[in-house]
Chain A
């Protein structure tokens, strides 16, 4: 995918938006230019702060998930016995829609950032652990035996095989969960907070009926997701160069 193609796609999408706005011709769907002007104005009057709060929450949620789920997936995938023990548990918990636990988590952890981060963690944890576990358990035995013959014990196997072999899986899991994470972030920010893009969008749209500002919030939230997406792509390009050759 080239940069030029992405730019072209942006232009096409904005054009469709413009056409839709002209067609509908109602205040609930303002034209892109109107929204862009409000977006830059709002940036100076608080939108940036809401953006920063949301960025912190979603980054913390994702970081916590990776830091807990990736090592757990590595350990479970690297050991047949642990895999047999934990896989049925993961199998049962994985399909449960974790988002329904939002009220429960808020009851337990209150209305602060912790509850929001924990909800994202609940959702992302399972996606990451499953992908990393499968990657780790699918490593060719020849690779492991070769390293063992070079003197590697368990620790070195993790450092030199399991970790680098699972890095693409970790990044794939992250990429796949960015959309979910931002969506969950929006839901958790609808209630019990006065900060964050979710609150901002809801407040501008439903309370103030300031639709251009509401769309500015939507753009900010989209940029948040896109930025994270690009970051993961960049990390993959930087850390997994071998995926891009040959």
Chain B
């Protein structure tokens, strides 16, 4: 009881963006992925969720996005228990989820069009939503002007991911959830888009949660890293990585030390006892 009160106090004091309390989740006929799992993310933080496949990291992202609901426990985003996708959260999936029949421009407009479709009802779109004419500026910002009238099949992987980012950011989210967004890109495009994502999130004051199975990516992007293990996950193991995203960090000794530490931790957990 006392612990709950303290946690709630902490959440209010630190402006919690994500506050997960005693989350339990399992798929039907499977052992639980999360059991009494607690996790706290403050506003404006940059998190990487790292773990081996099957650890539940993508499921956690879907829970945060409101696309799946907990069996028990509470997931609060910006102080409100989440029961369906939240208008101010943006989600970018592994294969970008672009509409194949729409051009880049139409894809970037999609979120805004969905909101216009419903109007500001507070459920599908924020109740103070005013359609903004910011599509062209996002297309320009992400360097998509030249391909704006092309279809997804005509784009490179990097351009597709830029389209997905533009579409999400055009809705001005305060929380950005990304599932392995850069895993299918070549090394140079990946680094480019990682930097772009970090700078955009900082500029727009967006809380970033990015799921990855790559240790280096977690260490590059996450100022805080949540390491998940083979399920069930009961406690959040968090690694502080405060200099992630600063220039030159990728080649620093600190970065390599962090990678090694994460590697050792993952190794330790996965070796059968």
Contacts and interface: CB of A to CB of B under 8 A. Distances in A.
A98 to B, nearest CB: 32
Contact of A148 (B85, B90, B154): B85
Interface in B54-96: 62, 65-67, 85, 87, 89-91, 93-96
A60 interface: no
**How big is chain B's contact interface, by range?**
35 or more
B89 A160 contact: no
A165 B167 CA distance: 20
B97 A146 contact: yes
A182 to B, nearest CB: 30
A149 B117 contact: no
Given A151-B85, A159-B117, A145 B153 contact: no
A156 B101 contact: no
A245 B151 contact: yes
Interface stretch (B13-21, B106-114, B261-269): B106-114
A156 B97 contact: no
Given A146-B91, A149-B89, A165-B101, A241 B124 contact: no
Contacts of A145: 62, 65, 67, 91, 93, 97
A246 interface: yes
A151 B118 contact: yes
Contact of B114 (A142, A143, A151): A151
A241 B151 contact: yes
B143 interface: no
B207 interface: no
A50 B65 CA distance: 60
A240 interface: yes
A155 B124 CA distance: 11
B115 A151 contact: yes
A99 B26 CA distance: 52
A164 B87 CA distance: 24
Given A149-B65, A151-B111, 14 more contacts: A143-B97, A146-B91, A146-B98, A147-B97, A149-B67, A149-B85, A150-B110, A150-B167, A151-B87, A156-B117, A165-B101, A242-B153, A245-B153, A246-B151
CB-based closest 8 A-B pairs: A146-B97, A149-B91, A246-B153, A150-B111, A151-B124, A242-B151, A242-B101, A164-B101
18 contacts: A142-B93, A145-B65, A145-B67, A145-B91, A146-B98, A147-B97, A149-B65, A149-B91, A150-B111, A151-B87, A156-B114, A156-B117, A156-B124, A160-B114, A164-B99, A242-B102, A242-B152, A245-B153
